[in-house]
């Protein structure tokens, strides 16, 4: 079963504000979806994004 994260959980993982996470969504910098009207992030996709960010 897939695990989904909230905006708050993603902001804590990245060490940024919730506003920054929402801005990343608007700029298509991080994948997300709407579940029941709430923004959610696939845990594995977020972890892959974090790992990829360190390779620059």
Write the pLDDT tens digit of every residue in 5-47.
999 999 999 999 999 999 999 999 999 999 999 999 999 999 8
Q: Looking at the domain that runs over 4-53, which CATH code has it been given?
A: 1.10.1660.10
Question: Can you give the residue ranges of every domain in the chain?
Answer: 4-53
According to the 3-state scheme, what is the secondary structure of 1-56?
CCCEECHHHHHHHHCCCHHHHHHHHHCCCCCCEEECCEEEEEHHHHHHHHHHHCCC
Tell the burial category of 32 from Cβ atoms under 10 Å away from its Cβ (0-12, 13-18, 19+): buried
Residue 55 has pLDDT above 60, yes or no: no
d(C-alpha 33, C-alpha 5), whole Å = 10
């Amino acid at each position: 079963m897939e695990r989904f994260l909230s905006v708050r959980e993603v902001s804590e993982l990245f060490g940024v504000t919730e506003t920054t996470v929402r801005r990343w969504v608007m700029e298509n910098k991080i994948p997300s979806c709407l579940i029941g009207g709430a923004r959610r992030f696939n845990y594995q996709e977020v972890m892959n994004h974090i790992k990829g960010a360190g390779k620059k």
